[in-house]
Amino acid sequence: MKALCGWHRHCTAEAALPDFSIRLVPMSDSSVSQLNARVSIVRDFASSDLFDRTFKEGMALVEETATYLDGDGRRDSRLLSREDALLYAGESMRLTTRLMQIASWLLVQRAVREGDMEASDACDDKYRIAALNAESGDRSTVLPGGLLNLLDRSNRLYDRISHMDKRMFVDEEAETAAVNPVMSQMQMLHQAFGTHFTGLEA
């Protein structure tokens, strides 16, 4: 639980962003157009009311969770059997990890908004957030209501952010690539055969 408390302090303080170096990689015209489209979407989202609401909700949930795990959660866990206490520990760790991922994603978008990060850097795959894995098992009969409530809310928020991330970054890329698959194949042939391919077309 100390990890989440420390992370909460990091989120509420002025975030120290890592040094984002520029990597010079040759890009095709289609890749440049694709990146420009994604950059525009990132900028629009970072300056939107939707981002404002999502950021406030996410950081408030981080704070509420840190308070619970360091207070009522400790008391609730002491009332559990040994087996259920292990389950509590596992689920609270899952909750902490999920909230760290949420906060990290939100802080990247805020960095874009405040000009601390280029929108093109935020498009890097390392900032993507994975879809929420399906969970099995009935925990409602053994885990404290406070923890279950936080788990449910964090899951729903994570699912929403994962969906936004997919629409902003993954789906946009797939849709752009699917606009003209024949042209994409032609470009690949040109890159492979160069002037020889041009001669074959004549």
How many Cα atoms occupy the beta-carbon half-sphere of 149 within 13 Å?
Answer: 9
For the chain, the structural domain boundaries read: 2-12+29-132+140-201
The tokens 């902490």 sit on which residue?
96
Q: What is the mean pLDDT of residues 59-71?
A: 97
**What per-residue confidence (pLDDT) applies to 138?**
63
Query: Residue 15 — very low, low, confident or very high, per pLDDT cuts 50/70/90?
Result: very low
What is d(CA 101, CA 162) in angstroms, rounded to the nearest whole number?
10
Number of other CB atoms surrounding residue 83 within 10 Å: 9
**What per-residue confidence (pLDDT) applies to 165?**
93
In this structure, which amino acid lies at residue 185? Q
Average pLDDT along the chain: 79
Percent of the chain surpassing pLDDT 90: 54
Number of other CB atoms surrounding residue 91 within 10 Å: 19
**What per-residue confidence (pLDDT) applies to 25?**
52
Query: Residue 23 — very low, low, confident or very high, per pLDDT cuts 50/70/90?
Result: low
**What per-residue confidence (pLDDT) applies to 2?**
56
How many Cα atoms occupy the beta-carbon half-sphere of 92 within 13 Å?
Answer: 27
Percent of the chain surpassing pLDDT 70: 65
Query: Residue 65 — very low, low, confident or very high, per pLDDT cuts 50/70/90?
Result: very high
Tell me which fold the domain 2-12+29-132+140-201 belongs to.
Answer: Helicase, Ruva Protein; domain 3 (1.10.8)
Interacting residues of 50 by C-beta distance below 8 A, sequence separation 6+: none
Q: What is the mean pLDDT of residues 111-131?
A: 92
Contact yes or no for 94/85 (Cβ under 8 A)? no
Query: Residue 122 — very low, low, confident or very high, per pLDDT cuts 50/70/90?
Result: very high
Residue 74 has pLDDT above 80, yes or no: yes
Residue 179 has pLDDT above 80, yes or no: no
What is d(CA 57, CA 75) in angstroms, rounded to the nearest whole number?
26
**What per-residue confidence (pLDDT) applies to 85?**
94
182 vs 124 pLDDT, higher one:
124
Q: What is the mean pLDDT of residues 7-19?
A: 51
10 phi, psi to nearest 5 deg: -65, -40
